[in-house]
Amino acid sequence: MTEIWLVRHGETPWNAERRVQGWEDIDLNQTGIDQALALGRHIKKLGQAGQPLDAIYTSDLKRAHATAQTVATEVNLPLNIHQGVRERHFGVLQGLVYDEMDAHAPEAAAVWRSRDPNAELPGGESLGFFHNRVVSAIDEIAARHLGQRVMVVSHGGAMDIIWRHANQVSLQVPRQAPLLNASLNRLKVSPQGWSVIRWGDVDHLADGTQNDVTP
C-alpha cells in the first residue's frame, strides 16, 4: 500500500477568471503563491509530527511545479516530474472563459458537457483517454513507493478522475467532489484498489484562500 497526498496547484489568474487552462502553462498569482507557502509550512509541520513524506511528484506545468517546489524546499526533498498527472488537454477550449465556450466553440463545449468518455475534444483528449493516463500514472507512482507516503501535485481535472476512480463513480456522473486550490487530499493506493482517507482539507489555508473551479 502507498499513501498518496494529492494536491491541486495554487490559484492562477485564469482560475480567478474562470478561464480554461488545460495544457496552457499559466503561472501562480499572488494568492496561489501564498497558498503554496502555507501548504509548505503545513507539510513541514506534519513531517515533524511523525508524518514525513518520502517523495514528491508533480506535473510539469508551471502552476503545479511551482506549488510542488515550494513544498519540496520546506521539507528538503527533490522533485520528480511526471507528465502523466498533467491536466486534460482541452483543445480548442483552452483560453476560453467558461461562460463564453458556447459562443466561441459550441461543438467542443457540447462534447465537454456530455462527459462522453469516447468523445474527443477537437485538438484535445477524450475523457476516457485522460482517465486512463491519470490512473496509470498514480498506479505507477504507487508501485515505486510501496509502504511509503508520497505527495503528487496535480490539477483539478486530474483530481476529479482520481476521486472517481477511488470511489468507483462513473465518468458520466456530474462532479461531486470539491477540487480546491492547494488542498490536501489523502488516498490509499494498492493493487487491490484505491480508497479515500480524507478529501478537500484546506485547514492550513486559514484565510480561506482557495478556489473551487473547473480546471
Positions annotated as catalytic residues are 9, 87
Contact 142, 118 (CB under 8 A): no
Q: Other CB atoms closer than 10 Å to residue 147's CB: what's the count?
A: 8
Residue 63 CA from chain centroid, whole number: 10
Spatial CB neighbours of 184, under 8 Å, sequence gap ≥ 6: 5, 6, 7, 39, 42, 198, 201, 202, 204
Residue type, 178: P
Query: Strand, helix or coil at 58?
Result: strand
Query: Strand, helix or coil at 104?
Result: helix
Provide the grid cell at 189. Answer: 493506493
Q: Other CB atoms closer than 10 Å to residue 174's CB: what's the count?
A: 6
Provide the grid cell at 156. Answer: 483539478
Contact 5, 200 (CB under 8 A): no
